[in-house]
Structure formats: C-alpha cells, structure tokens
Amino acid sequence: MSILRVEQLSFQYLQANRNALRAVTCEFEPGTVTAIVGANGAGKSTLCFALAGFIPHFFRGKLQGKVYVNGADTQQTPLAQLVTQVGMVFQNPFNQISGAKLTVSEEVAFGLENLGIARAEMETRVARTLQLFDLQHVAQQSPFALSGGQQQRLALASIFIMEPPVMILDEPTAQLDPHGTRQVMKTIQTLAAHGRTIVLVEHKLEWVARLAARVLVLDKGALVADGEPRAILSRANAWGLIETRYARAARAAMERGLIEKKELLPQTLEQAKDWFQIEG
Ligand SMILES: Nc1ncnc2c1ncn2[C@@H]1O[C@H](COP(=O)(O)OP(=O)(O)OP(=O)(O)O)[C@@H](O)[C@H]1O
Ligand SMILES: [Mg+2]
C-alpha cells in the first residue's frame, strides 16, 4: 500500500483567484525519495501542505479531491494525529521556530517533550541531532539569533528528531552552502535507506538525480510529468527548470555536432562519464 496517496486534488487559497493545484493524482511508496520540481508558483509548497495535512487544517480555501496518509483521509484526521505520521520542514525555516523556547537545544527537544520520552534518552537524542546538523556550537543561543543556514538546519533537526515515518522537505537546502547541502542530502539518503519515506522539493537538479527514485513535475498547479529522474530531467528546459551542468554540457556538445543527438542526457558525474565515453 502507498503510504501517501493523492486523488484528484485541487486547491484554491481563500484570497486567490486561481487554483494552486489542479486535479493532482499521485502516490508515494515507503522507503523512497520522491522529488517534486517545478517553476516558482507551480504549487510545490501547496502540495507539501496538503500531504502534511496543513491543508485543510491550517490553510483555508476551496478543496476538492482526497489525500490519504497510511489510508487515513487527512480531511477526517486531526492534525495532532497526522503530525506523528508526517513531519514537514517549511520552505522558510523562520516559520518553523516555535517561539516558545529560549535556546536551540530546547527548541530541538520541544517536539519530544509531549511524547513521554525519558530524560536521559531525550538528552542523548538531542545531543546526537545537534551534532548531525552541526548545531552543537550554538546549542545555548536563541533560535532567533541564528543565521539563515543555521535556522534551516535547526528546522530540519526539530523534525528529524521526531523520527516521523514520512518527511516532507520543502527546499531544505535553499539557505545552505555546498557543504551544508551535502550534509543534509547524505542524511536524507540514510533516512530513506532506513525505510523512511521522503518527499523532497528541490531546485538543485543534480541532487534530485543523485537521490530521487522518482520525480514529479508541477506546472501551474498541474502534475505534468511523473517518472524516472533521468528521463524527466532530460526535459528540464521544457518546464523552465535549470538543467544540471552535465545536461548543459551534453546539449552543447550535441548542438556543435560533436556527439549524435540523444534523448537521455547525463544528470550526474557517473552518467556524464558514460555519456561522453570518458575512460576511468
Ligand atoms: N497563502 C496563500 N494565499 C493565497 N495564494 C497563495 C498562498 N500561498 C501560495 N499561493 C499561490 O498559490 C500558487 C502556488 O504557490 P506555491 O507556494 O505552492 O508554489 P511553489 O511551487 O512552492 O513556488 P516557489 O518555488 O516559489 O516556492 C501561487 O500562485 C501562489 O501565489
Ligand atoms: Mg514553495
């Protein structure tokens, strides 16, 4: 059974004059990374809100269709119950900070407090999580005093520590440098390998190619492609996405007549070596 299922989902925000989502149907398999890509305003964050239950429980608007989490209809299931199944990291990490805690360490522990976990166990998990997201040096600072990148890592840490079976990550590395990005991507990979289901909104298509088993493309609220990453990313230009450096190089080589035209373009270093027939 799919852990997440979306059926003919349409949504229009209260103040909007057009639909943010248009009859989207898709499913997500357990233990996989599925990427959602699309231009600005395509509806990626809106789909994330619907998968996590914030639509309809938090954002008001006109909703049609269904979302099921582990078979439960999100419209019929309270948010408090959904959050134990689906954790979401917001696009703007500032929005994730509770405002209820004075230090980064307490903020990371916040979600665990209501789960009745023993104090020693909690301290171990907090220390491990702070380490994982490279926040141990700012553990005693106020969450609001952090840089954008640190706040993004804090938002991720606060969700990761809860260990929800499904994690929705809306551009989790937008504020991070290449090192921070690599760290977060590796963590995502490890989580999926341990059976977590990851939904990742990401503009960096090279990471999408490396991590995702499947890619969904949203365009003006509609799901316009759903499939194997390499085939989909080879058509990135068609949806106004910034293609990977490997795809760009391949396209340039084809246009100059250096290599015969092919439909599948390389999206990773490994694929590029093969595509350009580079030895070693
Ligand atoms: N709270 C809101 N009220 C009204 N309209 C909204 C609201 N949030 C988003 N929208 C509109 O819904 C549409 C989809 O927005 P959404 O944020 O889901 O796109 P996105 O793909 O995440 O874009 P981005 O890449 O910029 O994050 C856009 O037209 C946007 O203006
Ligand atoms: Mg968005």
Three-state DSSP class for residue 189: helix
The tokens for 139 are 């553990």
Say if strands 33-37 and 166-170 run parallel, antiparallel, or are unpaired: unpaired
26 has pLDDT over 80: yes
Q: Whose CA is nearest to atom 29 of ligand 1?
A: 41
**In the predicted model, what is the mean pLDDT of residues 77-90?**
93
CB distance 223 to 25 below 8 Å? yes
DSSP assignment letter at 265:
P
Is the dihedral angle over the CA atoms 131, 135, 137, 141 positive or is it negative?
Answer: negative
Tell whether ligand 1 has an atom less than 6 A from the beta carbon of residue 277: no
Contact 9, 62 (CB under 8 A): no
Band (pLDDT 50/70/90 cuts) for residue 226 is: very high
Each residue's pLDDT tens digit, 111-168: 888 778 888 999 999 999 999 888 999 999 999 999 888 999 999 999 989 889 999 9
Please work out whether the CB of residue 91 comes within 6 Å of at least one atom of ligand 1: yes
pLDDT of residue 280: 53
Domains of the chain: 1-85+164-243 (3.40.50.300), 96-163 (no CATH), 244-280 (no CATH)
Mean pLDDT of 180-197: 88
Q: How far apart are CA 168 and CA 31, in angstroms?
A: 13
Burial of 268 (0-12, 13-18, 19+ CB in 10 A): middle
- Per cent of the chain over pLDDT 70 is 99
Lowest mean pLDDT among 20-29, 205-214, 255-264: 255-264
For a substitution probing ligand 1, which of 13, 62, 175, 201 has the most ligand atoms within 8 Å of its CB? Answer: 13
Among 189, 152, 205, 144, smallest CA distance to 174 is for: 152
Identify the three-state secondary structure at position 15. coil
